[in-house]
Structure formats: structure tokens, C-alpha cells
Structure 1
């Protein structure tokens, strides 16, 4: 009974969030069209001058929606955040938007499902089955790996994870870790668009060097661990 109540509360909360996001998107549909046209100057020159930090009340919801239903390239908003809020502000706000969207999509698929889930599944069945098998086999670090690939659709990963046996907590921290890597990759690739005369900065370089070394070490550790486990099971130990 308690579990049913929790599920109902989750569904209600998700429905409220979706209504708010839909209202924001419909209200500022011209922003969505500017993003789809890759019109970055519209945001940096016009809207930020008008809204200031208040623009986050729209850019973060836009990122959340993009992680559920792909409407525009996520790179545009990440670059915008880096240009107007600097390295650490850009990282923080981009991480909030992408992680929130990935979590919403996951909970939609796992607890709400319905026609949207069925339609998405029918269109992407083969891709989803492959991703589900990979997540079921390799767990957390497969999600980290997939999330770190900028061209990998976020909603595909979220739906596949929801259909896999992975625990919610594991999904949350693997999504955070993977999205830090993804934003880092995109920020490096787009550096000429947002870096000023002062350069990227040593702190930023050190942070991402440390992060990516940790990222690689994480996979090597699990790869070796899995190899040892397979050898032991093969030998019947």
C-alpha cells in the first residue's frame, strides 16, 4: 500500500513538472526556434542583456525538455552558459539542466510509461535492446560511458536504464558523473566560442585532467575486476 502511494506521488509530481515545462516552452517557443537555428547570438546579445541571471529560469527548463524530447542541439545552451556565466557557472548550470532532464526522463519511463513510452520503444526497439543489455551486463559504468559520449541521445540512455534492473541511486550518481564528462568534452570542443583573451585557465585544465584520469582509471579498475571474476567463475572457484 505504501509503495503504491509513493508511486502515485511520483506520478503526480512528474505530471506537475511536465505541465510547468510545457507552459514555459509554449510561452517562449521563439527561443526554441532560435536554438534549432543555432542562433547563439540571440541569447548572448539580446536575451541575457534583458534577463540577466533570470534567463536560467528558461534555459534550465529548456535543457530538461531537450533531455526528454530532442528539440535542438544541447551544445548551444551549454556554450551559452559558458559564455555568459564563465567556466564554473557554465559547468554548474549545464550540469543542473542535463542531470534534471535525464532524471525526469528516467522516472517517466520507469514509473509513468504509458503511450509515450510505447511509441518511443516501437521507434527505437533495436537500439534500446542493445543499450539495455549493455547496462544490465556492465551496470553503472556503462551509463557513465554512454553519458560521456556527446552524440549519444540522452533520452535513449534514460529509457534503456529505466527498463534495466539498475537501481535508482546508481542511476543518479552514474548520470552525474557521465554528464560532467560530456559537458567537459563539449566545452573543450567549443572552447574557441567562449574562451576570452585570458585563456581557459589552469584550474579548469587541472580539474578536467584530473577528472578524465579518474574516469579512465574507473573503467580500467572495473574491467580488470570483471576479468578476474570471469576467470574465477570459469575455473569454478
Structure 2
């Protein structure tokens, strides 16, 4: 049953990539003008039918920088909707990769492990030492591959519920950071400082929460 399910998922993934290959090429080239000038006026919110699955695909197999999709969401839908759509897409992608690695594709995990053994072993040691908080921190780092984090978590003893929270908070932090770094492309000057201060408060709150839990566990 698992083999059939995996085969269906693989075929669906291949078909989706083939149908949207032109978009993927422009995403790999970080060609935002293609979408701003040619695509959005035609499809509007229908854009999400492509960008959301692309975010899931990107979290499983890295084909292009996720930054360009996040900028598109903020540019087209504004701060609140852009953030929300990006968070939903990246979190679903992280959960999908974790689910695939833990439930179905042992061969894929073995091949991925063979190519990334040193980095995966390092992440596993961090998870063993610092728990869920380190997953939040790692996802906050824009250059850290999402699938590496998800697969390391999947092969660890980590339970599903804390992983979901780590994916949610980590992707929230990552989107916030990337949208701040790309702020000149989409944000008004009078909004930037409140947006930056909000992220600082968020980061200290999350860090304080997990630090407090760690102290309580040691007592």
C-alpha cells in the first residue's frame, strides 16, 4: 500500500513540475518581474494555486530560493495576507517532508543521508542537546535547507506535536527575517521600524519561553 501511495505522490509531483516548469525556471532565475508584469494581472488570487504547492515542493526538494515566493506574496497580497500565505505554504511543506521521510520513503531518506551525512549528523546532535528550540533557530536561518531540518527531525525520536510547533514558529521567524531583508521591494518606510521591532519582540519571547522550559526541566 505504501509503495502505491508513494508512486502516486511521485507521479503527481512530476506532473505538477512539468506543468509549471516555466514558472520554476523564472523562480530559479529570481525573475520577479515575470510575475509582477505578466502573471498576477491574469490570475489574481489564483496565483496561490501554484505558489502554495510550489512552496510545498520547495520544502521537499529544493529547486529554487523560497525567498522569491515570499516576496511575491508580500508584493501581491500585502503584509498580513502575504505573511499568512507564506507561513501556511512553508509550514505545510515542512510537515509534508517530515511525513514522507518518516512514513514512506526509506530509500529516499537513505540517499539523502548519504549525500548529507555530516550535516544531518550535526543537526541530530543539536536536536539531542537542545530539543525543539534548535529546530526553530535552524529554520530561522535563511540559508539552511528546510528539507535537511525536516529529515533530521524525522529520523530523530522527536514526536509529531513538538515538530509541528517547531515548524510553525521556525517558518514564522524565517519569513519575518526574509521579508525584512527584502523590505525595500515591498514595504513602506513608515511600516519598517514597527515591523522590525515586532520581530525582535517575537524572537525574545520564543527564546525566553524555551529557555524557561529548559531551566524548569533541569530543576
TM-score (norm 2): 0.91
Contact 2:180/2:196, CA 8 A, preserved across alignment: no
Contact 1:136/1:165, CA 8 A, preserved across alignment: no
Rg (Cα) greater in structure: 1
User: 1:217 offset after TM fit, Å?
Assistant: 1.4
Shift in CA distance, 19/95, structure 1 to aligned 2, threshold 3 Å:
farther
Corresponding residue number in structure 2 for 1:187: 179
Structure 2 matches for 1:31-110, cutoff 5 A? 31-110=23-102
RMSD across aligned C-alpha pairs, in angstroms? 2.2
CA positional deviation for 1:28: 1.2
Alignment of 1:142-221 (within 5 A): 142-196=134-188, 199-200=191-192, 202=194, 204-205=195-196, 207-221=198-212
- Cα contact 2:102–2:154 (8 A) shared by 1: yes
1:132 partnered with 2:124: yes
CA contact (8 A) 1:64 1:98 kept: yes
Q: Which residue of 2 aligns with 1:4?
A: none
Contact kept, 8 Å, 1:24 with 1:58, in 2: the verdict is no
Quote the Cα distance in structure 2 between the aligned partners of 1:24 and 1:139: 35
Q: Which moved more, 1:112-121 or 1:72-81?
A: 112-121
Q: How far 1:207 moved relative to its partner? A: 3.9
CA distance in 1, matches of 2:101, 2:53: 19
TM-score (norm 1): 0.84
In 1, Cα distance between the equivalents of 2:117 and 2:203? 32
Kindly provide the CA deviation profile for residues 147-197 of structure 1, in whole angstroms up to 9, marking residues without a partner as x.
111111100000000010000111011110111011001011110011146
CA separation of 1:224 and 1:112: change in aligned 2, threshold 3 A: same
Q: Distance in 1 between matches of 2:122 and 2:103?
A: 22
Q: Distance in 1 between matches of 2:11 and 2:201?
A: 40
